Each structure stands twice: as C-alpha cells, then as structure tokens.
Structure 1
Amino acid sequence: MNSHMNFIKEQLYTLTSIPSPSSFTAKVTDYLLSELSSLGYSPERSNKGNVFVTLGGSGSPLVLAAHVDTLGAMVRSIKENGRLRPTTIGGHQWSTADGENCTIHTRDGRVYTGVVLNKEPSSHVADQKTELIEENMEILLDENVASDQDTLALGIQTGDIIAMDPRTVVTESGYIKSRFLDDKLSAAILLGLARAVREDAWKLNRKVSLLFTVYEEVGHGGSVVPDDTEEMISVDMGCVGSDLGCTERMVSICAKDSGGPYNYDLITALSNLAKEKKLDYAIDVYPHYGSDVETTLRAGYDIRHGLIGPGVYASHNYERSHMDGVHNTFELLKAYITR
C-alpha cells in the first residue's frame, strides 16, 4: 500500500473518531482546518460551517465536495425513568442501532456514554418483539439515574447530541468496516488528494478546490459555492446492492439518482477516463439518493455536476468498503484534474 493510501486510511480513523452529526460539526471542521493548514494550504470556514480550500491551478474552476456531517440523533425529551427519548438527525435507521453504544454531548461540553435499546430488549422478558421505530427507542445512560431529575442534574437537556460509535476497522485484506463511511471515507480521500498535490507537485489542469460540507445529511450542505464554479463533483459513497454493478472494490460513477440524471458529458468523460486508466469502475443508477451537488443546482448555480465515490455496502448501517475502492476513486480524481 503506497503512502497516499496509508495517509487516507489514517485520516479515516481520525475523522470517524470525531463525532459529527449534522449541526455538531465544529470539532471535525477544526480538524480539517488544522490538517489542511499543516499541508501548506489556506482553508476557510464559512458562516454555515463548510470548509473550503483551493489546491491550485487556474481556469475552468472545479469544486470537489465531500461531507463530514453524519447521521445521528438528538435528545427529544428526558423520560420519567431518566432515560432519553431520541429524535433522528438525517436518515438514521433505528433498526441498525439497536444495541449500539453511543455518546451524549451536552451544550456545556460534558460527554456521557450510553447504549441505544428498544423499550423491551430482553428476549427472556418480552411477550412479543418490539418494532424498531423511533417511538420505541431509548438511550440508557451509563450513569446511576432513576428519574428525569437525576438526568437533568448531569447537565443533559433536550437538544443535546447523540452520536453512535463508529467502530472503524480496516482488515488485513483491505476491507473497511465502519459507520459513517458515508461520507468520511471520501473526505479522507480528498485530504489524500490535497497531500498528493502538494507533496508530488501535481500539475493541475484547471483551478481545483475542495469543499467539505456539514449539512448534507439534512439536505442543504452544498447550497453555497464560489460564484466562478463551472463544474462540481460530489465525492460521496458509491452504492452497492441489488441491481447495481458496483462492488466495494470499485469506484462508482452515478448516472442518475432520485434527483434525476447527472450531467451527461461529465459522466461520459469520467467513465471514459476510468476505462482509459484501466480502473475498476461501474456506472450505476441510485434510486434513493441525493447529493450535495444537486443542492448546489437547486440553489441556482449554473454548473456541470457529477457524482462518484468508492463502493459502500449497507449504507446508513454499519457500512463496508475496501481499500481497492479507495484506490480507484483516488486515481480517477487524479486523472481528471491532471490530464
């Protein structure tokens, strides 16, 4: 594994270790600002919280976007028994979180651990299986609480953030298993790209910038980009599943998702380049997907738009990808901005 792939793997471990459900992203963007600055760039954070940095080049401005906000939950209320009733942030699926460890983040900076469980999780007690929907889920704090007043005394209140443990693992065989590969895996790839541009002195064929957004999971992450942007590619997860050609070891190029078709000429150029470079890739249609770059279009920007990313299986669950998918995505981006 080359140094850029090792760097991306290290960045993935770091990024997933920083809890960042949508709106709770200051710490992860602090990290991005620090890391990009250490690479010799001058990143900026917007009022909204997005991080933007130009890597170099001139003419025909291209923005590559990834998001660092994740799914998660928020305290909706504190129950009489001291447990927390949650409300979801983004398209979080409670059926995938039953039994998951989590952390609760108070507004004064305290952090508590807990576990997500349904209201009657014991098979030795329950008369019937509990449906895993939001109203039946609760957060049990790893604290000695028996009432709402006990929990309030800890400083926990409505609106506090609940973050699921990522459980990030990269196996010897190259498989990547973690929550929030959507989209911290592609964010790590873009950091690897920034490092390679600087250390390997890539000659960019145009002005290339990176945008790390913080509200993608709730639908408005990429709604603001520089006015001179001509082309934008969301570097997000590629879908793996029924009726799709992509595997975890490929780079996926999306032709159409729930928002409609992506720019035909851009998708053609990306797929031709992947073929020319002998990369392992697939062109797919994602029926239940939306991306940052579609938000940019809806905001009124006149841009060409595309979407690529490493194949990710079990999206919005405990997800799985592979370092080969990372490599293929990295090489396609390299070829596109240096050809």
Structure 2
Amino acid sequence: MKIDWDYIMQLTEELMEIPSPGGLTYDGIDRCREEFKKFGLTPHMTKKGALIAQMDGEENGEVTMISAHIDTLGAMVKHIKPNGKLILNNIGGFSWNSVEGENLTIHTSKKGNYTGSLLPIKSSRHTYGEEVTTLVREQENVEVRIDEFTSSKKETEDLGISIGDFVSFDTRTTFTYNGFLKSRYIDDKVCIAQLFSYIKYLRDNDIKPKNKVYFYISNYEELGHGVSVIPEDVDQFIALDIGLVSDYSNGDERKVNIIAKDSRTPYDFKLRQKLVDLCEEYQIKYTVDVHNRYGSDASIAATQGFDVNFSCIGPSVDSSHHYERTHKDGIIETVRLLIAVL
C-alpha cells in the first residue's frame, strides 16, 4: 500500500490555515467540497451544513460510512470589559491554560477580522509578582488583548467587535524532519486529510472499494452533535478521530488506535475485533484503548439511537486539546487500516 504522504502534509497544512471553530465551519466545508469534486465525487450538504459523498463499490455487500470532523475548538466573545478587552466563552472542551499566550483572530460579523492574544488578567510578573503564578486560569481570569488602540468598551465596539463574534486560535502547524506533526487542531483535521488520502489511493490505483462507502464531513463534533443524518443503507459507521497518548492511555504516535470504549459507550466488540484481525493480517501497527472524557461522531450517533454498527479509529495524539503532536507513522497506519477494512 503506497500512501501519498506529501499529499497528506499539504492538505493538512491547508486545512489548518482555515479557521473553523465549531459553528463557523463554512470555509472549511467549502474546501472539503472542492476536494471531493477533484476526485469526481458529488457531495451533498445536510441541513446542518455537513457534507456527505458516496462511492459505489464492486459488490453489493456491507455498506460503510466514514466520518471526520472539520470543526475545532475555539471561542466566542461573551463580554466586552470597561477597559476594552474581551472575555471569551469556550467552544469545545479545553482548558484556558492550554491557550494562554496564544495569538488569535476575532471574526466579526460586519467589519472583518482583528488579531489579538489571550492572556491572564494578571500577566506581568513585574507588576503582580506571585499572583501571576497562583491566579486560576478560568473564564473570568483570562482576556483578549486586541491588537488595536482601544481602552474602553465603546472603542472596542466602534471597531465592529460585538458579543457573539467567533474567535479562532493560531495553530502553529509544524512538520519536523523526523516525521512529527505538531499543531493545534490535529483533532480532527489530519483525519480529514486521511479520509481524502484514502480516496486518492483508490483513484491513483484505479480501483473501487469492495462495497459502497459514504464519506461524511461533520461540523459540530466538538459540540456533541456532529452527525445527524445517516443513510438508511449504512451497516457500519467508522469515525476517524484521534487516539490519546498519556500516562493513562495505551496510545502510540506510531500506530493506529482502535477505541474499545469512550465516556459514552463501549464500541461494538465484533467490529473492533474485525479491525484488530485486519491489523494483524496486514501487519498494521495498532493499539486498543479506553478513553475518558471522550466521544466521537460514531459514539454520539449510537447514543442518539441510529441503528448502525459503530467503531472509531485514528492516529494517537499527545497532549490532546492542547498543543498536540502525532507522527507520520500513526497517520499512515490509520490510512492502511481504512484500505484494509474497506
């Protein structure tokens, strides 16, 4: 199986440059639509703004749906302070300390974009001494310093910034010489690149999947309601999402992670075992793991009552929902497993 790594890198970098916090994913969805069309597929948009495309198979057997989500963590302007700075409300599950000092973009509804940085309300050690260290990083204790001369609520409002504006954080995407990918929002943009690299693999080799496959680009996964439409003929649903690397997980950045259970539900045992058997048959490096405080499009769909079998696989990521890292090997192994199962 020859996977086009250069294509995965290029598309991942391009997707990372498109801000897409949950609720503001239009540009990211448009870019995915272009990629489907490039490979001769015709995507359809759901009423909630997600994309579905299908590819017919050689046979009329088990139909699979594969998903990856374009939405990322982010924030929204909640309050404009008397000093002109902003209090944010988070989009998705992250801690404020994970974005402390990060540059960001404020996406206004009327007057374009502004840049800024997220800082604690007491950030200067020269001024506040030990309070800089002990201050709890929570919503009321961090603020946006806008890159404009504004020192009052009115001056900020005159810029066109208002409550409800979306905020995206810089990704700082880096590919290292030895195969590591470091970035915010590896979850889940690298998985979108994997999905399209599978399609490219088929096109490059002039082959079809064994059976029909649907491809779903969801846009609200980080908010817990990513997949709302599953075609009636789908038998199994495999979500592409990240595995985890930590002291309390079994993940390995060089391997594909097969999830056995998350915070919502166990995944189907027989489908999980099928994936494990394929890994062993094709010598695909893998781990099996149980995740805390975690959900995927597949487990969300299952708990919503969709009558499909469900599983979740993906590259394992260190420091999830922070400044994340994974490796080329785990990314490639995930695509290899997609090829094997489909």
For normalisation by structure 1, the TM-score amounts to 0.97
Q: Tell me the residue number matched to 2:80.
A: 78
Q: Tell me the residue number matched to 1:313.
A: 318
Matched, 1:121 2:126: no
Residues 66 and 215 of structure 2 are in contact (CA less than 8 Å); yes or no, is this contact kept in structure 1? yes
The one of 105, 110, 113 aligned to 2:112: 110
Separation in structure 2 between the aligned mates of residue 31 and residue 47 of structure 1, nearest angstrom: 18
Separation in structure 2 between the aligned mates of residue 225 and residue 42 of structure 1, nearest angstrom: 17
- 1:260 is displaced (CA, Å) by 2.0
| Distance change in 2, residues 1:218/1:164 (3 Å) | same
Task: Give the 3-state SS of the residue equivalent to 1:260 in structure 2.
Answer: coil
Percent of aligned pairs with the same amino acid: 38
Within 5 Å, give how 1:1-339 maps onto structure 2: 4-57=4-57, 58-108=60-110, 110-127=112-129, 128=131, 129=133, 130-337=135-342
Could you list the runs of 5+ residues in structure 1 that have no partner in the other structure? none
Which amino acid is the alignment partner of residue 149 of structure 2?
N
Separation in structure 2 between the aligned mates of residue 44 and residue 203 of structure 1, nearest angstrom: 20
Task: Give the 3-state SS of the residue equivalent to 1:49 in structure 2.
Answer: coil
CA-to-aligned-CA distance 1:193-227 (integer Å, 9 cap, x gap): 12222222223111111111000001000132112
Separation in structure 2 between the aligned mates of residue 276 and residue 244 of structure 1, nearest angstrom: 25
Residues 241 and 312 of structure 2 are in contact (CA less than 8 Å); yes or no, is this contact kept in structure 1? yes
Task: Give the 3-state SS of the residue equivalent to 1:36 in structure 2.
Answer: helix
- 1:298 is displaced (CA, Å) by 2.3
Runs of 4+ off more than 4 Å: none
Which amino acid is the alignment partner of residue 12 of structure 1?
T
| Distance change in 2, residues 1:33/1:109 (3 Å) | farther
| Distance change in 2, residues 1:30/1:140 (3 Å) | same
Residues 231 and 305 of structure 1 are in contact (CA less than 8 Å); yes or no, is this contact kept in structure 2? yes
Separation in structure 2 between the aligned mates of residue 258 and residue 308 of structure 1, nearest angstrom: 15
Task: Give the 3-state SS of the residue equivalent to 1:272 in structure 2.
Answer: helix
Separation in structure 2 between the aligned mates of residue 146 and residue 165 of structure 1, nearest angstrom: 24
Separation in structure 2 between the aligned mates of residue 202 and residue 132 of structure 1, nearest angstrom: 52
- 1:109 is displaced (CA, Å) by 5.7
Task: Give the 3-state SS of the residue equivalent to 1:116 in structure 2.
Answer: strand
Task: Give the 3-state SS of the residue equivalent to 2:67 in structure 1.
Answer: strand
Separation in structure 2 between the aligned mates of residue 210 and residue 69 of structure 1, nearest angstrom: 16
For normalisation by structure 2, the TM-score amounts to 0.96
Residues 223 and 292 of structure 1 are in contact (CA less than 8 Å); yes or no, is this contact kept in structure 2? no
Could you list the runs of 5+ residues in structure 2 that have no partner in the other structure? none
Task: Give the 3-state SS of the residue equivalent to 2:22 in structure 1.
Answer: coil
Task: Give the 3-state SS of the residue equivalent to 1:125 in structure 2.
Answer: helix
Separation in structure 1 between the aligned mates of residue 315 and residue 243 of structure 2, nearest angstrom: 5
- 1:3 is displaced (CA, Å) by 6.0
Residues 83 and 151 of structure 2 are in contact (CA less than 8 Å); yes or no, is this contact kept in structure 1? yes
- 1:270 is displaced (CA, Å) by 0.2
Compare 288-297 and 170-179 and name the one that shifted more: 288-297
Separation in structure 2 between the aligned mates of residue 96 and residue 42 of structure 1, nearest angstrom: 38
CA-to-aligned-CA distance 1:43-71 (integer Å, 9 cap, x gap): 11111011111122143220011111000
Aligned pairs, number: 337
Which amino acid is the alignment partner of residue 232 of structure 1?
F
Residues 233 and 308 of structure 1 are in contact (CA less than 8 Å); yes or no, is this contact kept in structure 2? yes
- 1:96 is displaced (CA, Å) by 0.7
- 1:249 is displaced (CA, Å) by 0.9
Separation in structure 2 between the aligned mates of residue 297 and residue 227 of structure 1, nearest angstrom: 14
- 1:41 is displaced (CA, Å) by 0.9
